[in-house]
């Protein structure tokens, strides 16, 4: 069954570190259509920030390129794709290990994929050496009725 989308967006920007903040704001504005909680919105912004930063620092290294970001909204989730046409990741499994970094000289923690995985409900990484990397992340936005029920359960304890 094909999923229908409530809305879609696509954005391209130069791989400059200043554009990481732009990507965070753009995705927050788009995701706000689902009426997420502040925490859900912070999770989305943080995951996008990590993915975009990876494209800039690792994908393109010292060269400039284009980072692409697209997002789709369904009834209760956002699906985000962030991609570059950079150098690609040699071994995705190793890159996903906590604290692994190819740039130990930079003040980076090597936790980008770990952060993305912990803040999003699903993450897929596709990478081909010399052609680039695409990260697809999904975040489900809980319906507000659930929050009201949780609040009532806490209040009644």
Alpha-carbon gap, residue 131 to 66, rounded angstroms = 13
| Residues spanned by the domain of 127 | 7-155
Calculate ∠ Cα 69-27-80, nearest 5°. Answer: 50
Alpha-carbon gap, residue 43 to 107, rounded angstroms = 22
Band (pLDDT 50/70/90 cuts) for residue 95 is confident
Q: Rounding to the nearest 10 degrees, give the CA dihedral for residues 41, 44, 49, 51.
A: -170
| Active-site choice (108, 117, 140, 145) | 108
Q: In CATH, what number is assigned to the domain containing residue 76?
A: 3.30.565.10
Structurally, the chain folds into a number of domains equal to: 1
Model pLDDT, residue 153: 65
Band (pLDDT 50/70/90 cuts) for residue 4 is confident
Model pLDDT, residue 105: 60
The predicted model scores a pTM of: 0.83
Q: Is residue 2 part of a domain?
A: no
| Active-site choice (54, 75, 97, 107) | 54
Which residue would you say has higher pLDDT here, 62 or 96? 62
Q: Is residue 121 part of a domain?
A: yes
| Active-site choice (19, 20, 40, 50) | 50
Q: Is 24 one of the annotated active-site residues of the chain?
A: no
Q: Is 108 one of the annotated active-site residues of the chain?
A: yes
Model pLDDT, residue 157: 64
Q: Is residue 12 part of a domain?
A: yes
Model pLDDT, residue 151: 61
Q: What is the mean pLDDT of residues 106-124?
A: 81
Note the pLDDT tens digit of each residue in 9-29: 999 999 999 999 999 999 999
Q: Is residue 1 part of a domain?
A: no
Q: Is 54 one of the annotated active-site residues of the chain?
A: yes
First CA to last CA across the chain, in angstroms?
A: 42
If you ran DSSP here, which 8-state letter would residue 108 be given?
Answer: -
Is the per-residue pLDDT at 110 higher than 70? Answer: no
């Amino acid at each position: 069954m094909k999923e229908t989308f409530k809305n879609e967006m696509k954005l391209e920007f130069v791989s400059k570190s200043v554009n990481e903040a732009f990507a965070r704001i753009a995705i927050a504005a788009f995701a706000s259509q689902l009426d997420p909680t502040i925490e859900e919105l912070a999770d989305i912004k943080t995951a996008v920030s990590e993915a975009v930063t990876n494209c800039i620092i690792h994908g393109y290294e010292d060269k400039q390129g284009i980072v692409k970001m697209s997002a789709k909204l369904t009834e209760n989730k956002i699906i985000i794709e962030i991609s570059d046409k950079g150098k690609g990741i040699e071994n995705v499994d190793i890159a996903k290990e906590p604290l692994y970094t190819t740039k130990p000289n930079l003040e980076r923690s090597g936790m980008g994929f770990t952060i993305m995985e912990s803040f999003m409900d699903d993450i897929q990484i596709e990478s081909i050496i010399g052609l680039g990397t695409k990260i697809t992340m999904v975040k489900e936005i809980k319906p507000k009725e659930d929050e009201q029920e949780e609040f009532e359960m806490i209040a009644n304890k």
